[in-house]
């Protein structure tokens, strides 16, 4: 049986999640849930995915695709908002949610997810180990940022081409959107490992590109989510920049 102190710790950690939620967080949750429930996306069955297309049985008729996508959108809202507020809990939620998000993205047509999402899970997990060492907001020079993004773009388009060609899917619009979004996310995730503020510039472009991908996929929950994220990334740029400048002013 669990000791009283262990039970108390777990209870405080669970309810601590709700104490960290503010009105802007709740706005994101309302947008995602309203879009998903109001437009009926939550009820999207597995049979609507390319993998189970044409199959008609009890399992494929379950609304698992829509439910998983909605849960993933909620997890993404919480993780991104907590990271924007520099709460390490966001990193923990993030790498766990990557597993579910990858499954949903794959079923929605991103066959490159089998190669890209395991990498994303690693880059989202690493900050849970490094943020304690990088307690202050960092900065990267523009030239290094350009080199990093260039390398990320080449890597992303290469690994996605491998996955899409191998699957026989072809290099269609989904390939281009998936490659662009993964390149931006990969570079931003690497910067987040070291708590670098320039990641939010990349997330801004990422959110716009992912909004386009969500529209192509018909993923209504993500349409609402990434519209909200565009605003969130701009807010994060301001707050992270302000915190770094305040730190420099006190040195």
Q: Establish if 10 belongs to a structural domain.
A: no
For 32, residues 6+ apart whose C-beta sits below 8 A from its C-beta are 70, 73, 74, 77, 221, 224, 225, 228
Q: Establish if 178 belongs to a structural domain.
A: yes
Q: Establish if 17 belongs to a structural domain.
A: no
Residue 186's domain spans which residues? Answer: 22-250
Domain total of the chain: 1
Q: Establish if 8 belongs to a structural domain.
A: no
- Ranges of residues in the chain with a pLDDT under 70 are 1-21, 221, 244-251
Q: Establish if 244 belongs to a structural domain.
A: yes
Q: Establish if 14 belongs to a structural domain.
A: no
Q: Establish if 61 belongs to a structural domain.
A: yes
| Residues 57-96: tens digit of each pLDDT | 888 889 888 899 899 989 999 999 999 998 999 999 999 9
Q: Establish if 172 belongs to a structural domain.
A: yes
């Amino acid at each position: 049986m669990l000791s009283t102190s262990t039970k108390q710790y777990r209870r405080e950690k669970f309810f601590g999640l709700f104490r960290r939620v503010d009105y802007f967080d709740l706005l994101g949750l309302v947008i995602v849930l309203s879009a998903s429930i109001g437009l009926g996306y939550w009820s999207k069955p597995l049979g609507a995915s390319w993998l189970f297309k044409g199959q008609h049985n009890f399992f494929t008729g379950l609304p698992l695709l829509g439910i998983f996508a909605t849960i993933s959108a909620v997890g993404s809202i919480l993780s991104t908002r907590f990271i924007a507020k520099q709460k390490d809990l966001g990193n923990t939620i993030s790498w766990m949610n990557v597993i579910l998000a990858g499954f949903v993205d794959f079923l929605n047509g991103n066959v490159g997810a089998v190669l890209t999402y395991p990498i994303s899970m690693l880059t989202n997990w690493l900050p849970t180990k490094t943020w304690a060492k990088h307690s202050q907001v960092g900065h990267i020079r523009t030239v290094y940022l350009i080199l990093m993004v260039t390398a990320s773009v080449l890597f992303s388009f290469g690994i996605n081409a491998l996955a899409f060609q191998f699957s026989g899917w072809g290099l269609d619009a989904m390939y281009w959107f998936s490659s662009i979004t993964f390149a931006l996310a990969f570079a931003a995730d690497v910067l987040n490992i070291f708590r670098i503020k320039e990641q939010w510039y990349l997330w801004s472009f990422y959110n716009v590109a992912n909004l386009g991908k969500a529209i192509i996929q018909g993923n209504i929950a993500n349409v609402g989510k990434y519209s909200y994220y565009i605003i969130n990334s701009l807010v994060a740029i301001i707050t992270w920049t302000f915190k770094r400048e305040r730190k420099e002013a006190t040195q």
